Amino acid sequence: MEWIRDERPRRITLISTGGTIASRWQGAGYAAEAAGSDVLGASALPEGVTVDVVDLFNVNSSRMTSVRQLALLHAVHEALADPGVDGVVITHGTDTLEESAFFLDLHHSDPRPVVLTGAQRPIGTGDSDGPGNVYDALQVAASVRDLGVLVVFDGLVHPARGTVKTQTLASDAFSDPSAQHLGKVGFGRVDTHRSPERPAPLPLPAADASAALPRVDVITHHSDADPLLFRAALAAGARGIVLVATGAGNATPEFVDAVAEAVEQGVLVAITTRVPAGEVAEIYTGGGAVDLVAAGGLLTGTLRAAQTRIAVLSALLADVSPNHRTELLRGLLNGPAFQEPALAAGSRFSGGSPTPAGAHH
């Protein structure tokens, strides 16, 4: 599909959150400091686009928290409450951009786009990639609809789901190791070749949800791993645990026992893998995915640890019964086909009424 901006002026809200794109030298290293107006001022604007800047917070994204992500989600919804806004661009640090993008996407029901971008090289440096990325993000936000939340970086358009940081320093920082990007930006136009598959969006969590956000921990399996840290997470009050398994989703019989204990206590357990690409699958026993699933763990498809944790968090924030929460999480992890039973069961959500099952945008 080719999307070319028409002649109608476009109004975009830019929400600034910090990151390398807003970082300046501090004497010993770079840290987020520049205001959103400075970030925008370093970039040219696409023709016919006007921008309103919101300075939400200004942090290196390694300091991102669920509380800040919830504030960002509400800021996006507040921006889109204005019918005169055509889209939202968020400037964000690259370290945790994949988590914020997926969190926003799981709760995004508006046809207008939300586009996240950032930079690998700080503002004010001669080779900064921030201005080009901001220009491209504004171009995409002014051009597309019904694609959900997007990541625009280094001339490419990515869906939020599955897109992770794959390069620590290179300009082409983001990709989905298991799928192709959505499109490209260049020469005044946006070309997309597919639409992302997205589960029915969750309503906005209650504004006071940040007062008691559930703990969700990530535990990694390795050659000498035992369930000590897994059980420590349980003891710390985790209501969700992501087990980063080996291979196609395999651990040991000891982990199987720990997963069963957690599920018995009502804790959500999701099983992903430390392998960069491919699906997790029930193939092996002896502590493998076959046994982990039998113990109550949920496989994550191609979602990796950081975004799996966000899916668990969103499932826990949804105001549904414990019996429905597992099925809701299964849908968030695996796509639209799995989510409909939970939504069709008359579930309630904090922050509004549920979107009808199968109503995808």
Query: CB of 298 within 8 A of CB of 271?
Result: yes
Of 20, 163, 252, 300, catalytic: 20
Domain with CATH 3.40.50.1170 in the chain: 2-192
Reported as a single tens digit per residue, the pLDDT across 282-325 is 999 999 999 999 999 999 999 999 999 999 999 999 988 888 99
Domain with CATH 3.40.50.40 in the chain: 214-344
Question: What per-residue confidence (pLDDT) applies to 361?
Answer: 29
CATH of domain 214-344: 3.40.50.40
Tokens of 40: 């925008």
- Model pTM score: 0.91
- What's the CATH class of domain 2-192? alpha beta
DSSP state of 318: S
Question: What per-residue confidence (pLDDT) applies to 104?
Answer: 98
Question: What per-residue confidence (pLDDT) applies to 6?
Answer: 54
Say how far apart CA 57 and CA 16 lie, in whole Å. 7
Mean pLDDT for 247-271 is: 98
- Mean pLDDT, all residues of the chain: 91
Q: Which amino acid is at 3?
A: W
Mean pLDDT for 19-40 is: 96
For the cut 60, the answer to whether the pLDDT of residue 337 exceeds it is no
Q: Give me the phi and psi of 87, to 5 degrees please.
A: 180, 170
Say how far apart CA 135 and CA 233 lie, in whole Å. 43
For the cut 80, the answer to whether the pLDDT of residue 338 exceeds it is no
Q: 36-44 long-range contacts, Cβ below 8 Å, gap at least 24?
A: 36/91, 38/123, 39/14, 39/91, 39/123, 39/130, 39/134, 40/14, 40/134, 42/123, 42/124, 42/128, 42/130, 42/131, 42/134, 43/130, 43/131, 43/132, 43/134, 43/135, 43/138, 44/131, 44/135
pLDDT band at 207 (very low <50, low <70, confident <90, very high): confident
Question: What per-residue confidence (pLDDT) applies to 342?
Answer: 39
Say how far apart CA 28 and CA 130 lie, in whole Å. 21
Distances (CA, A) of 76 to 4, 90, 135, 204, 338: 24, 9, 19, 11, 27
Question: What per-residue confidence (pLDDT) applies to 126?
Answer: 86
Reported as a single tens digit per residue, the pLDDT across 50-98 is 999 999 999 999 999 999 999 999 999 999 999 999 999 999 999 999 9
The proportion of the chain whose per-residue pLDDT surpasses 90, expressed as a percent, equals: 84
Question: What per-residue confidence (pLDDT) applies to 209?
Answer: 77
DSSP state of 250: B
Q: Which helix (H) or strand (E) holds 325?
A: helix 322-334
Of 13, 17, 91, 94, catalytic: 94
Distances (CA, A) of 101 to 10, 60, 358: 22, 16, 22
Tokens of 200: 């029915």
pLDDT band at 5 (very low <50, low <70, confident <90, very high): very low
Q: Which amino acid is at 342?
A: A
Say how far apart CA 192 and CA 143 lie, in whole Å. 11
CA 152, 97, 305, 78 dihedral sign is negative
Say how far apart CA 244 and CA 219 lie, in whole Å. 6
20 part of the active site = yes
- Comparing 138 with 320, the larger pLDDT belongs to 138
